[in-house]
């Protein structure tokens, strides 16, 4: 299975739904809650968002594909499930 990691916000309900999607489908994933991270991590993630040209969370990377916003159909397609 492709590697899945995401950037989330502890205040965002769509990020929670995204985490639940991966958990419910038994997809291993890693995540960082941006707002709870230290300054250095936030700066790193911020630079990554700018490089990808996106501003909203959830930010999900499945393999090489970046998906922003809660989009369960795209997650399923990207994961082949």
Partner 1 sequence: MNTESRKKALRYFFGKVVAPMGFKFTPDAELVDFLLEQEVILETKHGIPFCPCQPLRHDRARDMKIVCPCIPFHREHFDAIKRCWCGLFVHQDVIDPDSLPQLSPHEVGLE
| Residues at the contact surface with partner 1, assessed by CB under 8 A | 7, 9, 11-15, 34-35, 42, 45-46, 49, 53-57, 68-71
The minimum distance between CB 70 and partner 1, in angstroms, equals 5
Q: Measured between alpha carbons, how far is 31 from 23 in angstroms, rounded to an integer?
A: 12
Closest by alpha carbon to 61, among 73, 49, 46, 43?
49
58: preceding bond cis by omega (within 30 degrees) = yes
**Nearer Cβ to partner 1, position 45 or 79?**
45
**Nearer Cβ to partner 1, position 31 or 71?**
71
């Amino acid at each position: 299975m492709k590697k899945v990691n995401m950037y989330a916000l502890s205040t965002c309900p769509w990020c929670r739904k995204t985490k639940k999607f991966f958990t419910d489908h038994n997809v291993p994933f890693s995540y960082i809650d941006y707002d709870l991270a230290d300054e250095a991590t936030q700066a790193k993630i911020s630079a990554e968002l700018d490089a990808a040209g996106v501003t909203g969370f959830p930010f999900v990377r499945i393999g090489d594909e970046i998906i922003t916003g809660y989009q369960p159909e795209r997650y399923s397609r990207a994961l082949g499930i």
